[in-house]
């Protein structure tokens, strides 16, 4: 039961809380729920446009976390090391979010292979689509040079 | 049921999520659990000092939410209107947080009455105390002048 | 003496300081110089990707300022009101910025007319191109509906 | 010509621009001028309270820069290394800043010696005092243990 995860009591709670806090894997990829706070808004009364990239990044980070991919471990995983670097973003701002809104960030893998990953992400408030994004990620080694994504890792994103 | 509210499938799940999202009232006040993401860190490898104020503000906002005090409603609650304004903060940075840490933000009321509120807040990682803060809040009306906190509202903070 | 520009005394100073602070119009559009501070970096040691959108937005805001277009005035300029809303961004992250870097943000108008504007923006460190962005902006009225950009205003962007 | 300072051409420009960008040393310490942008505001229409800490930190960073103290160099300056860590802040929020405001951040040394530094900082808009802060900074070595501030360095802050 997800609620237990954050709201329960005793030691069990903390562990479960960790999990709920990180969202959950879905049929299409990953889903994370986040709240809009003061810090996310600007004087227009709406969410500051760059803040949506924070919500998207939290989604990507927790997607990896739920896949069991520790980014810090990847760096020293094999001889080369492996780092994900955002190479390009295309973002459509469909409709604005406001203070106190509850947002669901959905992340799914469009492509994972070679030296490249493509993720598609959406932010919704209830059913309404607010943000649509396409994120092109370069797979590089510890020295910043392009490298291949290992098969085992690529497979995780395609599940 | 709040959880229903947000989490779509297994309608039940969503409601619980909503509730968990805003933390919970405790014997001493309020407790909120939050994750440290990339955005919170700086090149020192630790959390950027001003980001702790974001975590503290999320705690205060959700404390009010859990008390059933809608800040937007307050503004038009009576003839004068009522707004909370941070007047002074004293913050002790005891120990640093790091990427991926899970933080618990505890908020409690030291004083609520007259035209002033004093909240004490703590941020902990597990048992370890990272941040201790004292927040002096002025109670003002819609025109920014000091006004008294209504008895009914003051009582909520003292429960 | 450059220092006078920002640090001098008397009325002249403030005006000049103000002007320098807002960058300047160039043959192609506008150019603004900004410093990278702690707040802009993350624990990777580089600038956090969403922060580039802050630098780009500062550039757009000061471009309008240097064109003499007060955004607050636009809202009540004619019967309808006029607001600029970011509709889509395409951002290429070419090379990373680091703590203490001095960045030049260049903004130019690709299209201004109808209910739409397209701006192209670049961030460089010295000669090196770090960020390239294309920003599609919707022109809407006070109620958020598409409206035409007045000829006089469109002409300013095309100079 | 002030504009030259930031916008001129040739090598001279970059150096002068760099200098102006970093504020200047004054009789009392250091002074930096900064603009309020969209990113600094929240939906209340005023500057988000935690953003003042960003302005203060920019002031401290450029104070060190103008004193010729490279923080990165300090880390490897002697056998121990030297790092400045914010230990406590007391901040009085006197009056709010708004979008487009030009702010002057003044930093001066109250105490520099032993394993501790105390800085006092103010943010003003024109003559009006908006923010007053007292920042207690611990001087630690590369392993995070308290160490003495070298005499030569302490003397720089007392000039």
Which residue in the block uniquely carries the two structure tokens 């927790």?
A62
- Residue of A36, A42, A44, A101 to mutate, interface with D, max D Cβ within 10 Å: A42
**Least confident interval from A91-100, A120-129, C26-35, C77-86:** C77-86
Q: Quick: pLDDT tens for C100-131.
A: 999 999 999 999 989 999 999 999 999 999 99
Judged against a pLDDT cut of 80, whether residue A78 lies above it is answered with no
Tell whether A14 is covered by a domain: no
C-beta of residue B1 within 8 angstroms of C-beta of residue B20? no
Q: What share of chain D is helix, strand, coil (3-state, %, to 5)?
A: 30, 35, 35
Helix (H) / strand (E) containing B35:
strand B29-35
Judged against a pLDDT cut of 60, whether residue C19 lies above it is answered with no
Per-residue confidence band for C8, with pLDDT thresholds at 50, 70 and 90: very low
Judged against a pLDDT cut of 50, whether residue C135 lies above it is answered with yes
**Domain boundaries, position A95:** 29-158
Residue C2: its chain D contacts at CB < 8 A? 2, 4-6, 16-17, 19-20
Residue D99: its chain A contacts at CB < 8 A? 43
C-beta of residue D3 within 8 angstroms of C-beta of residue C87? no
Query: Of D100, D128, D94, D90, nearest to D34 (Cα)?
Result: D100
Judged against a pLDDT cut of 90, whether residue B158 lies above it is answered with no
d(CA B40, CA B96): 12
ipTM: 0.86
Residue C89: its chain A contacts at CB < 8 A? 49, 89-91, 93
pLDDT of residue A159: 67
Judged against a pLDDT cut of 70, whether residue B81 lies above it is answered with yes
pLDDT of residue D74: 78
| pLDDT, chain D, mean | 85
Residue B130: its chain D contacts at CB < 8 A? none
**Least confident interval from A51-65, B48-62, B74-88:** B74-88
Where helices occur in chain A by DSSP H, the ranges are 2-7, 11-21, 51-67, 71-74, 151-158
Judged against a pLDDT cut of 70, whether residue C13 lies above it is answered with no
pLDDT of residue C73: 72
pLDDT of residue C78: 75
Could you write out the DSSP letters of every residue in C89-139? EEEEE-S--BTT-EEEEEEEEEEEETTEEEEEEEEEETTEEEEEEEEEEEE
Does the CB of C158 have a partner CB in chain D at under 8 Å?
Answer: no
Judged against a pLDDT cut of 60, whether residue D152 lies above it is answered with yes
Instruction: Give the domain CATH number at B150.
Output: 3.10.129.10
Tell whether C4 is covered by a domain: no
pLDDT of residue B69: 84
Mean local confidence (pLDDT), B83-88: 94
Interface of D with B in 56-75 (CB under 8 A): 57
Tell whether D10 is covered by a domain: no
In DSSP terms, which residues pair with B128 in a beta bridge? B125
Tell whether C21 is covered by a domain: no
Where helices occur in chain D by DSSP H, the ranges are 2-7, 11-21, 51-66, 71-74, 151-158
pLDDT of residue D15: 38
Query: Of B126, A23, D40, A92, nearest to C58 (Cα)?
Result: D40
Neighbours of chain C (3+ CB pairs under 8 A): A, B, D
| pLDDT, chain B, mean | 85
Judged against a pLDDT cut of 80, whether residue A6 lies above it is answered with no
Does the CB of B86 have a partner CB in chain D at under 8 Å?
Answer: yes
Of C46, C50, C99, the CB nearest to B39: C50
pLDDT of residue C5: 32
| pLDDT, chain C, mean | 85
| pLDDT, chain A, mean | 85
Tell whether B117 is covered by a domain: yes
Tell me the percentage of chain A whose pLDDT exceeds 70.
85
Nearest residue on chain C to A94, alpha-carbon basis: C87
Tell whether D152 is covered by a domain: yes
Distance from CA of A3 to the nearest CA of B (A): 6
Mean local confidence (pLDDT), B31-52: 96
**Least confident interval from B90-99, C25-34, C49-58, C61-70:** C61-70
Does the CB of B107 have a partner CB in chain C at under 8 Å?
Answer: no
CB contact under 8 A, B90 and D87: no
Q: Quick: pLDDT tens for B2-25.
A: 332 333 333 333 333 444 799 999
Helix (H) / strand (E) containing B51:
helix B51-66
- Residue of A40, A49, A138 to mutate, interface with C, max C Cβ within 10 Å: A49
Residue D44: its chain A contacts at CB < 8 A? 38, 43
Neighbours of chain D (3+ CB pairs under 8 A): A, B, C
Per-residue confidence band for A28, with pLDDT thresholds at 50, 70 and 90: very high
Mean local confidence (pLDDT), D116-128: 97
Tell me the percentage of chain A whose pLDDT exceeds 90.
65
More confident call, A29 vs A153? A29
For chain D, what is the domain count? 1
CB contact under 8 A, A38 and D46: no
Which residue in the block uniquely carries the two structure tokens 């001098």?
C8
Per-residue confidence band for A128, with pLDDT thresholds at 50, 70 and 90: very high
B90-127 burial, b at 16+ Cβ within 10 Å, e below that, comes to ebebeebbebbbbbbbbbbbeebbeeebebbbbbbbee
Mean local confidence (pLDDT), B27-41: 96
Of D51, D57, D88, the CB nearest to B91: D88
Does the CB of B145 have a partner CB in chain D at under 8 Å?
Answer: no
pLDDT of residue D70: 74
Helices (H) and strands (E) in chain C, counts: 5, 6
In DSSP terms, which residues pair with A125 in a beta bridge? A128
DSSP summary character for residue A85: E
Q: Quick: pLDDT tens for D10-67.
A: 333 333 344 479 999 999 999 999 999 999 999 988 999 999 999 999 999 999 999 9
Does the CB of C2 have a partner CB in chain D at under 8 Å?
Answer: yes
Judged against a pLDDT cut of 80, whether residue D106 lies above it is answered with yes
Tell me the percentage of chain D whose pLDDT exceeds 90.
65
pLDDT of residue B159: 67
C-beta of residue B58 within 8 angstroms of C-beta of residue A37? yes
CB contact under 8 A, C46 and B43: yes
Nearest residue on chain D to C25, alpha-carbon basis: D7
CA distances from A73 to A78, A122, A150 (A): 10, 28, 14
Mean local confidence (pLDDT), C68-80: 75
Per-residue confidence band for C142, with pLDDT thresholds at 50, 70 and 90: confident
Judged against a pLDDT cut of 50, whether residue C2 lies above it is answered with no
More confident call, B82 vs B130? B130
Judged against a pLDDT cut of 90, whether residue B57 lies above it is answered with yes
Distance from CA of A51 to the nearest CA of D (A): 9
**Least confident interval from B49-53, C71-75, D87-91:** C71-75
Query: One of D7, D18, D42, D100 is an active-site residue; which one?
Result: D42
pLDDT of residue A8: 30
**Least confident interval from C141-150, D7-16, D40-49, D133-142:** D7-16
Whether D40 sits among the annotated catalytic residues: the reply is: no
Mean local confidence (pLDDT), B48-77: 89
Tell whether B11 is covered by a domain: no
């Amino acid at each position: 039961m997800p609620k237990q995860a954050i709201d329960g009591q005793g030691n069990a709670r903390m562990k479960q809380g960790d999990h709920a806090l990180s969202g959950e894997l879905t049929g299409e990829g990953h889903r994370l729920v986040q709240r809009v706070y003061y810090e996310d808004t600007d004087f227009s009364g709406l969410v500051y446009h760059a803040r949506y990239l924070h919500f998207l990044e939290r989604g990507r980070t927790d997607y990896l976390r739920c896949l069991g991919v520790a980014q810090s471990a990847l760096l020293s995983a094999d001889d080369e090391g492996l780092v994900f670097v955002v190479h390009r973003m295309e973002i459509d701002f469909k409709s604005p979010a406001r203070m106190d809104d509850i947002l669901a960030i959905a992340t799914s893998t469009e492509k994972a292979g070679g030296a490249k990953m493509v993720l598609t992400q959406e932010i919704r408030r209830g059913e309404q689509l607010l943000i649509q994004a396409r994120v092109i990620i370069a797979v590089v080694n510890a020295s910043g040079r392009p490298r291949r994504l290992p098969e085992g890792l690529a497979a995780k994103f395609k599940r």
